[in-house]
Structure formats: structure tokens, C-alpha cells
């Protein structure tokens, strides 16, 4: 039996061209699916690099300005007519002279020895705040020996005055402060007069803050001190 070939009738068909709009839509879809993330990533990379460069430049500028502020003591002069003007020396680095050192050394001695219920606690805190090195332990020993808090608590009517006799310097950072203390009781009778001498080792550190300028403008730091009886003055007083 012969097997014949199947024949399908041929069909001729003309394909119509794809519209241009469809081609454009296809291109857009392909770009959004593959190309857009790459382009956006490149844009954000450029933005990040620009921001990083800006931050680096700002950091360098701030670093060059450090410290952002500095505290400098200055002198205000008042003329006879009442005109107030800043002294040109304010622009210079302040270095305390012997007169300023004498004043604040004498002030420190008064703070340590003055007995007054309304002032003693604050004075001791202020005197303690400018001690350093060996003076810290020496200050504790002085307070333990003299017991000023106990005295103003147990006998608040007793007042001890401090008179500075002289302040002299031995070398650059060593001072001898001669002073006299006298205690008075409730009736104002003077008793227990002592002549003392304080050997004080110190140095001055320029203040860094506005509060330091107000409380300790010369930056006085007591590093070591010793307080003993002034034998010469005691003998003169007894004669």
C-alpha cells in the first residue's frame, strides 16, 4: 500500500509593521528594567563623593580654627572724665607680676586662717581648689591640725583675724608670707595672738575659662607649703 504525502494548501500572509510607539514603549521598559538602576547608582555615587569632599573641607576648616575660642584677661581703664576704654595690652599674653602674686598669695593665707562662721567654709573650699601636688596632702594636714570647722561650730562667737605683715619672694616661685593671727571671744577681748610664717611654693597657669578668670585670674597654683611660728616676730612681741 503506497503511502502518499500529505499536502497542505499553502497560505500567503503579509506581516504588518510594528507601530513606532510600541517600539518606544519597549525600549523604555527595557531601560527601566536594566539601565535605570545603574544610572541612578552612578548619580548617588557622585552625590556621595561631593558630600564627602564638603565634609572633609569643613573638618579641615574647623580644625584650623581650633581652639574655637580663647580666654584672655584684659584691663579696662577709666579716665578722669569717666570714659571707659580697653587697654591695648589686652591683646598680649598676660603675665602676672610680683604685685599680683603678692595679693593672691596673701589672699590664700587669709582664706586658710580666717575664722568667721559666714566665711570660713567658702574660704577653705576656694583655698583647696588651687592646691596641687604635695600641697593637697599638706592642706588636709593643716585642716586636721587647726580644726577650723570644729571651732566655728562649737564656738561660733570666736573670730580669728589675719593680718598680713609682709610677702617676699625667694627665687621665682617661692614666697615667704609673714602674718599675725588674733582670736577674739564673745566680748571682743583679744587673745591667742600668733606670729606665723608661710613658705609657699607655687606656679601660675593661665586661666582657660571665664569662671577661672573671675575666681583665680593669675592662675595661681599652690604646689607645696609649710606654716611655722615666726620666732623673730614672736620674740619682739614678747619684749
Q: Determine, yes or no, domain membership for 84.
A: no
State residue 184's pLDDT score: 83
State residue 63's pLDDT score: 80
* Domain of 40, in residue numbers: 22-68
Q: Determine, yes or no, domain membership for 26.
A: yes
Q: Determine, yes or no, domain membership for 91.
A: no
- 227: helix, strand or coil: strand
State residue 41's pLDDT score: 73
Q: What is the pTM of this model?
A: 0.63
Strands 76-78 and 174-184: unpaired
With a cut of 50, list the residues of the chain below it in pLDDT: 1, 8, 91, 238-239
Burial class (CB in 10 A: 0-12, 13-18, 19+), 33: exposed
pLDDT in tens, 106-126: 999 999 999 999 999 999 999
- Local structure of residue 75 (DSSP, 8 states): -
Give 163's contacts (C-beta < 8 A, 6+ positions apart): 179, 180, 181, 182
**207 upstream amide cis, omega within 30 of 0:** no
Q: Determine, yes or no, domain membership for 156.
A: yes
33 and 117 part of one domain = no
Confirm if 174 and 187 have CB atoms less than 8 A apart.
Answer: no
- 72: helix, strand or coil: coil
162 and 234 part of one domain = yes
Nearest alpha carbon to residue 182 among 158, 152, 201: 158
Task: State the total domains in the chain.
Answer: 2
State residue 163's pLDDT score: 96
159 and 51 part of one domain = no
109 and 218 part of one domain = yes
116 and 27 part of one domain = no
113 and 210 part of one domain = yes
Distance between CA 98 and CA 110 in Å, rounded?
18
pLDDT in tens, 67-95: 666 666 666 666 677 777 766 555 456 78
Q: Determine, yes or no, domain membership for 1.
A: no
Distance between CA 157 and CA 180 in Å, rounded?
20
128 and 205 part of one domain = yes
132 and 195 part of one domain = yes
Distance between CA 88 and CA 74 in Å, rounded?
8
Give 124's contacts (C-beta < 8 A, 6+ positions apart): 111, 112, 143, 148, 149
Q: Determine, yes or no, domain membership for 4.
A: no
Q: Determine, yes or no, domain membership for 169.
A: yes
Distance between CA 187 and CA 157 in Å, rounded?
9
183 and 123 part of one domain = yes
Q: Determine, yes or no, domain membership for 200.
A: yes
If one counts every other C-beta atom within 10 angstroms of the C-beta of residue 130, the result is 20
What are the angstrom distances between the C-alpha of 3 and each of 6, 29, 114?
9, 52, 138
Q: What angle do CA 43, 44, 46 make, to 5 degrees?
A: 65
State residue 116's pLDDT score: 94
60 and 115 part of one domain = no
208 and 105 part of one domain = yes
39 and 115 part of one domain = no
Amino acid at each position: 500500500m503506497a503511502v502518499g504525502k500529505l499536502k497542505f494548501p499553502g497560505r500567503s500572509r503579509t506581516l504588518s509593521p510594528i507601530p513606532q510607539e510600541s517600539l518606544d514603549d519597549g525600549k523604555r521598559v527595557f531601560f527601566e528594567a536594566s539601565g535605570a538602576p545603574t544610572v541612578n547608582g552612578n548619580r548617588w555615587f557622585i552625590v556621595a563623593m561631593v558630600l564627602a569632599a564638603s565634609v572633609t573641607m569643613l573638618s579641615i576648616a574647623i580644625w584650623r580654627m581650633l581652639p574655637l575660642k580663647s580666654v584672655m584677661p584684659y584691663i579696662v581703664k577709666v579716665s578722669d572724665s569717666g570714659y571707659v576704654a580697653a587697654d591695648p595690652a589686652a591683646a598680649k599674653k598676660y603675665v602676672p607680676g610680683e604685685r599680683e602674686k603678692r595679693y593672691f598669695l596673701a589672699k590664700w593665707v587669709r582664706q586658710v586662717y580666717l575664722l568667721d562662721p559666714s566665711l570660713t567654709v567658702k574660704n577653705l573650699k576656694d583655698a583647696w581648689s588651687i592646691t596641687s601636688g604635695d600641697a593637697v596632702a599638706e592642706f588636709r594636714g593643716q585642716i586636721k591640725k587647726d580644726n577650723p570647722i570644729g571651732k566655728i561650730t562649737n564656738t561660733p562667737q570666736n573670730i580669728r583675724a589675719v593680718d598680713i605683715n609682709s610677702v617676699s619672694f625667694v627665687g621665682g616661685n617661692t614666697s615667704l608670707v609673714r602674718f599675725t593671727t588674733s582670736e577674739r571671744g564673745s566680748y571682743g577681748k583679744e587673745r591667742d595672738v600668733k606670729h606665723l610664717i608661710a613658705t609657699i611654693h607655687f606656679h601660675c597657669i593661665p586661666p582657660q575659662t571665664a569662671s577661672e578668670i573671675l575666681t583665680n585670674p593669675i592662675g595661681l597654683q599652690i604646689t607645696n607649703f609649710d606654716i611655722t611660728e615666726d620666732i623673730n616676730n614672736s620674740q619682739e612681741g614678747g619684749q
